[in-house]
């Protein structure tokens, strides 16, 4: 081994290296999302359109808007994708 290569026991462990901590983080995000979704019950809205009065409208709308952006990105990637050696020519 070379002198500059890091040894396995010298590598720093981060808290997200453990799968248990990643699971805890994912469950925390789920809990926050559920709490924000349920918070829609406790505040008074001032809607401009009747559909905005529906329970969970903003969460559902946001989810589908984000889904649409991701799908549009997949389509645009195929449309504007360049070859791997495009800039080498």
pLDDT for position 8? 58
pLDDT tens digits for 42-84?
A: 988 899 999 999 999 998 999 999 999 999 999 999 898 888 8
The CA distances from residue 31 to 26, 45, 75, 77, in Å, are 9, 23, 32, 33
CB neighbour class for 37 (10 Å; exposed up to 12, middle 13-18, buried from 19): middle
Q: How confident is the model at residue 4 (pLDDT cuts 50, 70, 90)?
A: low
| Predicted TM-score (pTM) of this structure | 0.62
Q: Mean pLDDT over residues 21-44, rounded?
A: 93
């Amino acid at each position: 081994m070379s002198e500059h290569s890091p040894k396995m026991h010298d590598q720093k462990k981060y808290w997200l290296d453990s799968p248990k901590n990643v699971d805890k983080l994912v469950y925390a995000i789920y809990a926050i999302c559920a709490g924000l979704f349920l918070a829609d019950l406790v505040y008074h809205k001032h809607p401009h359109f009747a559909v905005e009065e529906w329970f969970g409208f903003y969460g559902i709308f946001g989810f589908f808007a984000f889904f649409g952006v991701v799908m549009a990105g997949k389509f645009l990637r195929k449309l504007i994708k360049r070859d791997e050696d495009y800039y080498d020519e």
